[in-house]
Structure 1
């Protein structure tokens, strides 16, 4: 930008105006405030007609003549009103009404920290106002020219091989600040300049970005981390966010926002175009998972080696997530990044009910990190070779569905036995099967359920059952015969005994 910003300092620097400060003991910042306009008035109270950020010019006709206490009080009240209204400077036209600037006015402006400057007789007020208007126009023209040049440079950057990375770098250069692009998983994918944020600020910013992505709504937001302001702009459609662009800057002016909007549009378009490629990649991975489940890993090995690197070396552990379809995209993007960084240590692909994860049996850190970051449940199989991949996926599914923690290994749930996996449907069938015995005991005061339970637990031994029940063995035989009649089942059949034993186990002691 070539033109000076329209400030009081730049206005005083105009030699053709011959303006001069009445006092030089001002704070430097007082001269660097932007001037929105220059207005002239000799009213005793012009504040109803002024707005914040103005410079006011006056000839002083509103002040009482002389330098007595009344004149000083009038000057103090006048300047105090200007300060309250947000006036950034006061120009006094000398030799029009008064010779020089009244000392009381100089003191009042010093007390209120308002810069006071002299406008000599030969400099008309209109020349001062016009000079500021020209500076404002020059500033606006320079900003528009900058915005056009910046958009042109960003458009050219987007044509480079890594269009997104080049676009982020060009935006950072144009805004002269740090810019980062986060993917749908909340990972910092690109930044410029590299390492431009300290670790603490970077971590806090990533947490903020992750929160924005989890809310899923398309929006812009501002925040401050320490002393650094940030602006966040989402990429993609609401409910299908593709990432976030973070800019280490506070409120941008209109031209700055236009440039950022152009970047958002181009980045969003590029990411939407990549989405189609991502879907194709996801479909290919899903196909390779199905190929592995057939027990023939040759195709998956060859395809993975050509596209992503070798499959993890056997023995492997297979994981299965419970991620809902709406969240799988974000997980998949992070896994793509990890698979690229850790070639040969991870393979993944969609299954019908989650993501299948394949890692070496001796390194499961990726599984635990994924579960912690996305708050998903993952089941893990026992270590297996690729020839038992289908069975391993089944183990992972059982571990996931029966586990309670973030990550559950199949070995943790397999010790509970087969019957512990019986569903509510199985228990309903068991109640129906044994209901006649429960009803008979309740109505006749018999002990058929207890006798059947003890007899089956004693491996169908009449003698052992009699001892456990404290009755004669002939009583046991009589009860078993009654059980056969009530149930209409033959207890000499192993299949019948096994089914009744399973039914009793399914219902448990509370039945």
Structure 2
């Protein structure tokens, strides 16, 4: 079916018409490579000294040479230069109408400029050449329309196959004789035809460009140049809910080829939208397995996941937790699904109560690093654990995530090393701590005393009056008197461990 697409009308084809008796004057070796095979969009005649304001690119111009009656060599060169600059494909000179033969200076100017020059004999009227060109253009347009209809039918039939989307893209590649790639919502290449034909550097650069387009979240279509490769990219899906992108390494597609691409884009978008329902069902099933694992009994989850997703990662595992918004990211879900399929048993995931729960072997945490880097999010990571302590691992991952201050993988072990007070350091805890110390601060402000500082030094020195006095540079009896005063102001017995521990914690949190 791709063979139905003919070569566009060209000057070589026009010269090949025996009924026109046209003769190429210049040696083809003196012309620019491929110029005789360039598409001819029309044939026009004019004897103006400068017809370029009335010409368009891709024309073949016919002339009888009346404009050269008093021309100098410079005039010939200028004339040919203007035609070349306008994109004229060739110049036909009608002989024996105004003068015999073709002016030698015109032959020289055309040879020097690389302009194809051909003779139109007296017996061949210009209208015959123009009509031959118009017929060829019309035949080409009809053939292109026929090819477009046949190509659209071919891709439609391909869509009915069991692997409909992949078969459709393979047929599009065959029809256009070019590389075609389908990217998912995360910008990862999911399907390509022919496979492996793009250079690695080109593929990486194209993936980065597609990812940027998809992150904008708006429907878009455009042409890119990645190195020496021209690529057309069309996003799939509606604005705010893009499902991926279709990339085609073809330059300057005509209207008929674009019609075929448009049909494939519509089919691909429909196929991806239809997959949404299945994706939501699978997502709900995954979430159910996560909740089952949270009971610390993996028996049901192992049995339910085995046939659909493969085995769960082998213990010991680490549990990761993303921010809540990431659990709603289509791009992240699709990327995780692809990653899980590539290596069964290396990643399991599902929605949790406040984020996407990720389970990987403790010895292979690379999926967590990839997700954090690719989507620029925090992923909290638990300590290594077995499935019988899964719920505790989720809590550890949540704690590590909530304590992180920058995108990346945040380990619970690091948060634990920072101490218990770091985990308590919420705004609510600091508010309660400040309220507990407020009577002492109020007393110090009113009486110009130093009860807060003395209490802090006394607690820091294991409640030793002697050590606190040395630290403050005052007498131990002064320390004793201030601590007694602090007890009265607070209304607490500071001889008890509980009271001392609570006040020491309050002082640390307020700091």
TM-score surpassing 0.5? yes
What residue in structure 2 maps to residue 438 of structure 1? 441
Q: Say which SS state the counterpart of residue 68 (structure 2) adopts.
A: coil
Aligned residue for 2:155, secondary structure, equals helix
The residue number in structure 2 matching 1:407 is 409
Q: Which residue of 2 aligns with 1:182?
A: 183
Partner Cα separation in structure 1 for residue 351 and residue 55 of structure 2: 66
Give the equivalent residue in structure 1 for 2:369.
368
User: What CA deviation, in whole Å up to 9, does each residue of 1:267-323 have, x standing for no partner?
Assistant: 000001111111111121112111211222222111111210111122211111126
User: How far apart, CA to CA, are the structure 2 residues paired with 1:22 and 1:469?
Assistant: 109
1:418 maps to 2:420? yes
Distance 1:451 1:390 in 2: 44
Task: Find the residue that maps to 1:97 and give its secondary structure.
Answer: coil
1:213 alignment counterpart: 214
2:18 partner SS: coil
SS of the residue corresponding to residue 324 of structure 1 reads helix
Match of residue 59 from structure 2: 54
Matches within 5 A, 1:376-387: 376-387=377-388
State the match for 2:204 in structure 1: 203
Cα distance in 2 for partners of 1:466, 1:82 equals 101
2:44 matched to 1:39? yes
1:172 and 2:177 are equivalent in the alignment: no
Whole-Å separation in 2 of the counterparts to 1:375 and 1:454: 44
Which segments of 5 or more consecutive residues in structure 1 lack a partner in the other structure? none
SS of match in other structure, 2:395: helix
Query: CA 1:376/1:256 → structure 2, altered by over 3 Å: closer, same or farther?
Result: same
How far the C-alpha of 1:2 sits from its partner, in A, is 6.7
Q: Is the aligned partner of 1:9 residue 2:12?
A: yes
Q: Superposition pairs for residues 44-193 of structure 1, below 5 Å?
A: 44-64=49-69, 70=71, 72-193=73-194
Deviation sequence 1:85-142 (CA, Å, 0-9, x none): 3322221222223222222222222233222211122212111111000100111111
1:243 equivalent in structure 2: 244
Give the structure 2 partner of residue 502 of structure 1. Answer: 505
1:40 & 1:468 partners in 2: Cα distance? 106
| Alpha-carbon contact 2:430-2:510 (below 8 Å) kept | yes
1:493 Cα deviation from its structure 2 partner: 4.7
State the TM-score, normalized to the length of structure 1.
0.92
CA distance in 1, matches of 2:5, 2:447: 106
Q: CA RMSD in A?
A: 2.3
In the alignment of these two chains, the number of paired residues is 504
- How far the C-alpha of 1:326 sits from its partner, in A, is 8.1
Cα contact 2:327–2:356 (8 A) shared by 1: no
SS at match of 1:185: coil
Instruction: Give the aligned partner of residue 34 of structure 2.
Output: 29
Of 322-331 and 235-244, more deviation after overlay is shown by: 322-331
CA distance 1:106–1:432, shift in 2 (3 Å): same
1:337 corresponds in structure 2 to 338
Aligned position for 1:267: 268
